Amino acid sequence: MATRHQHQEHTRSYYAASVNEKTDYPVLQGAKTTDVCVIGGGFTGVATALTLAERGYSVALIEANRIGWGASGRNGGQLINGISGLAKIRKKHGEGIADMLWDLKWRGNDIVHDRVARYDIACDLKNGFVEAAVKPRHMDELEEYAAELDAHNFAYEYTIWDREKTREMLGTDAYIGGFINYRDGHLHPLNLCIGEARAAHDLGVQIFEQSPVTKIAHGDRPKVHTASGYVEADSVVLAGNAYHFLEPKHLSNLTFPAGSYIIATEPLPDETVNQINPTDVAVCDLNEIMDYYRLSADKRMLYGGQCNYSGREPASIMASIVPRMLKVYPQLKNVKIEYEWGGMIGIVLNRIPALGRINKNVYYCQGYSGHGVNVTHIMGELVSDAIAGTMEKFDLFANMKHFRIPGSQWMGNQLIALGMLYYRMKDLV
Ligand SMILES: Cc1cc2nc3c(=O)[nH]c(=O)nc-3n(C[C@H](O)[C@H](O)[C@H](O)COP(=O)(O)OP(=O)(O)OC[C@H]3O[C@@H](n4cnc5c(N)ncnc54)[C@H](O)[C@@H]3O)c2cc1C
């Protein structure tokens, strides 16, 4: 079955309006052969293709729309360490792998920094990420986090802020404290994705856009079909995340699409910038249903949140996000909102990214539960290792049990929405 999102241009976002380069890779025509065929041109697909090309593989990457068209070109741009569900893997395998998992959860940050430097990708990458506490229990969590960093002799700057310091650094009374670390940060995600695709292309990766994959024909050398051609490869990587409907027998009802939404204001005057975010850091609150925000390079407030687990679009993105922003920053009341957009994240019930193999040579990698800029780059490396025969880290994820909700995807989304009500209530208490 093909994707329902086909042959589209980028959504009207601040990112699409400020790209360094508009991509125009050809449509796949006729028959091609290659070592690896990657389906999906978001961070998972592009990072995997680039890693494989760096290691000498021949790669074809097929995207239904444009490079970075999905969540990767629309997200909050927060480059944050961690992998959802990692605690469960640690629990299963014990303390023996604790240090390896600690390194792994930061690995995506390192890959992004390396690539930005190596391929000279202009994507406004900056260090500094604040977790903002709304409730006393959040402060306890931050104390524990600081102790964990201490124990690992964390080599980057980090500090807990009290209420007063948080007010001074973020210009709001909304928080009772915060925690800043300078290994996480923020960036322009669409420019990163397009820049990585450019680097992959320069290394010989064949990229096809506007080419929705309709079918994977399995075999010793699977064939990946589109309406006008196919790619035959030793291995296939399926990286369509919340936007693909391929391999339903194995993957339907494993990952559920949930919407997340962002608004971008007009560029703010220096005076306001100096009041609300003088050191230009990314911010996430610690609620279960979180708000996240940062300034763009041209000093717009990019404010996101309002995850919608039912799969339905909100009637108005602005109407749902602006009140959230004004609660934190009433001083932005008269600021013009110039962009509003949303995208789909892939939710997995147990929150562990869904990695696996179908028939030994078709790999899939999806479901980062809203936390993907860092994680996609880690997973791209794990999948590339697996293709080369090193399965250790890939199998840590692939061997975790996932629950597939029986019935239709609509039904699954309703159940997830119901489950999230619990967390909404928790935020309110
Ligand atoms: C609004 C929003 C804000 C977010 N904020 C953050 C954040 O600040 N920090 C963070 O870490 N994470 C964030 N995320 C999550 C993060 O963006 C995702 O986890 C990550 O981008 C997923 O990347 P991906 O490549 O797996 O999927 P996507 O970027 O969604 O890419 C999948 C691609 O596959 C293509 N595709 C699908 N089907 C086919 C097919 N049949 N044939 C060919 N191509 C196909 C699609 O067109 C699409 O381009 C956010 C997500 C959203 C939506």
Pocket test residue of 196, 243, 308 for ligand 1, highest count of atoms within 8 A of CB: 243
Q: Which residues contact 312 (CB under 8 A, 6 or more apart)?
A: 259
Pocket test residue of 28, 72, 207 for ligand 1, highest count of atoms within 8 A of CB: 72
Distance 386 CA to ligand 1 centre (A): 22
pLDDT band at 4 (very low <50, low <70, confident <90, very high): low
Would you state the pLDDT for residue 97? Answer: 94
Distance 71 CA to ligand 1 centre (A): 3
- Whether the per-residue pLDDT at 274 is higher than 70: the answer is yes
> Tokens 């999806």 belong to which residue?
366
Which helix (H) or strand (E) is 186 found in, with range? Answer: strand 177-186
Distance 16 CA to ligand 1 centre (A): 15
- Whether the per-residue pLDDT at 312 is higher than 60: the answer is yes
Q: Kindly state the tokens that stand for 183.
A: 């290994």
Would you state the pLDDT for residue 111? Answer: 98
Q: Kindly state the tokens that stand for 214.
A: 């309709």
pLDDT digits (tens, 9 = 90+) for 46-68: 999 999 999 999 999 999 999 99
Query: Is residue 287 within 8 Å of 427, Cβ to Cβ?
Result: yes
What number is the average pLDDT over the span 132-141? 97
CA angle at residue 189 from 89 to 213, to 5 degrees? 75
Would you state the pLDDT for residue 410? Answer: 67
Q: Do β-strands 177-186 and 126-133 pair in parallel, antiparallel, or remain unpaired?
A: antiparallel
Query: Is residue 224 within 8 Å of 231, Cβ to Cβ?
Result: yes
Segments in 277-408 forming alpha helices (H): 317-328, 373-387, 392-398
Nearest protein Cα to ligand 1, atom 18:
372
Distance 378 CA to ligand 1 centre (A): 15
Distance 144 CA to ligand 1 centre (A): 31
- Whether the per-residue pLDDT at 3 is higher than 70: the answer is no
Query: Is residue 259 within 8 Å of 55, Cβ to Cβ?
Result: no
pLDDT digits (tens, 9 = 90+) for 111-133: 999 999 999 999 999 999 999 99
Give residues (CB < 6 A) around ligand 1: 2-3, 5, 39-45, 62-65, 69-72, 74-78, 80, 212-213, 239-244, 246, 260, 262, 292, 304, 342-345, 366, 368, 370-374, 376
For the chain, the 3-state helix, strand and coil shares in percent, each to the nearest 5, are 35, 25, 35
CA distances from 308 to 209, 225, 244, 347 (A): 29, 33, 19, 11
pTM: 0.95
Distance 267 CA to ligand 1 centre (A): 26
Of the candidates 367, 257, 254, the residue with the CA atom closest to the CA atom of residue 309: 257
CA distances from 238 to 144, 209, 283, 395 (A): 37, 15, 32, 17
Give me the percent of the chain exceeding a pLDDT of 70: 92
Would you state the pLDDT for residue 425? Answer: 58
Q: Kindly state the tokens that stand for 109.
A: 């940050």
Q: Kindly state the tokens that stand for 93.
A: 């395998």
Would you state the pLDDT for residue 428? Answer: 59
Collapse the DSSP code of 359 into the 3-class scheme (helix H, G, I; strand E, B; otherwise coil) and give the result.
coil
Mean pLDDT of all residues belonging to the chain? 93
pLDDT digits (tens, 9 = 90+) for 144-161: 999 999 999 999 999 999
Residue 122: count of CB within 10 angstroms of its CB: 13
Nearest protein Cα to ligand 1, atom 9:
78
Work out which ligand 1 atom sits closest to the CA atom of 212.
42
Size (the chain), residues: 429
- Whether the per-residue pLDDT at 419 is higher than 70: the answer is no
Would you state the pLDDT for residue 1? Answer: 45
Q: Kindly state the tokens that stand for 177.
A: 């404290």
pLDDT digits (tens, 9 = 90+) for 330-378: 999 999 999 999 999 998 888 899 999 999 999 999 999 888 999 999 9
Would you state the pLDDT for residue 202? Answer: 98
Work out which ligand 1 atom sits closest to the CA atom of 373.
11
Would you state the pLDDT for residue 350? Answer: 87
Dihedral of CA atoms 405, 410, 416, 422 in degrees, nearest 10, equals -140
- Whether the per-residue pLDDT at 409 is higher than 90: the answer is no
Please indicate whether residue 348 or residue 404 has the higher confidence score (pLDDT): 348
How many CA atoms lie within 13 Å of 183's alpha carbon, on the beta-carbon side? 18
Phi, then psi, of 6 in degrees rounded to 5: -135, 145
Work out which ligand 1 atom sits closest to the CA atom of 372.
19
- Whether the per-residue pLDDT at 84 is higher than 80: the answer is yes
Distance 342 CA to ligand 1 centre (A): 11
Q: Kindly state the tokens that stand for 78.
A: 């927060």
Please indicate whether residue 404 or residue 294 has the higher confidence score (pLDDT): 294
- Whether the per-residue pLDDT at 421 is higher than 80: the answer is no
220/224 Cα distance (integer angstroms)? 13
Query: Is residue 196 within 8 Å of 47, Cβ to Cβ?
Result: yes
- Whether the per-residue pLDDT at 313 is higher than 80: the answer is no
Pocket test residue of 293, 345, 365, 383 for ligand 1, highest count of atoms within 8 A of CB: 345
311/153 Cα distance (integer angstroms)? 42
Distance 196 CA to ligand 1 centre (A): 15
pLDDT digits (tens, 9 = 90+) for 168-219: 999 999 999 999 999 999 999 999 999 999 999 999 999 999 999 999 999 9
